[in-house]
Amino acid sequence: MIRDLADGDEAAFRGLWGQYLAFYRVELDAAITDFTWQRLMDPGSALKARVAVAGGMVQGFAVHQAHPSTWVLGSDCYLEDLFVTEAARGTGLGRALIADLQQVARAAGWQRLYWHTDQDNARARALYDSIVPSDGHVRYRLRL
């Protein structure tokens, strides 16, 4: 089952978020995670999340946000973070989260869904390549 993230999911989300950060070998200040949770729970925030529940437990998430675009008559949806537990990988939950987000985006009238991943994340790239070919864009990030 895939549904919106809810208040009662905080412990599960934080556990998965910790696994996600460990996968990418990233450490974030606890205040950033706290702020992320607050934004995810704020109805006025553009940042939202869908979660995959299997066996009665939250097994994955898709953090996303819609934003205006200069390339379409409407908005795009950026899938910022997609994660499923190691045990759930290969079960179709990642694909299901993306398919669910496609439905959410279509229902909201958003024009495109896009995401990126680490170039060395072969497992995720195999999934993504089976959904849509890469558009060839390369990301640059300037920290301020």
pLDDT above 70 covers what percent of the chain?
Answer: 100
pLDDT tens per residue, range 11-37: 999 999 999 999 999 999 999 999 999
Strand order through the sheet with 2-4: 2-4, 47-54, 57-68, 75-84, 112-114
pTM score, two decimals? Answer: 0.93
pLDDT tens per residue, range 106-128: 999 999 999 999 888 889 999 89
Asked if 38 contacts 49 with a C-beta cutoff of 8 angstroms, the reply is no
Considering the domain 2-131, what is its CATH architecture?
3-Layer(aba) Sandwich (3.40)
Of 48, 53, 137, the closest CA to residue 101 belongs to 48
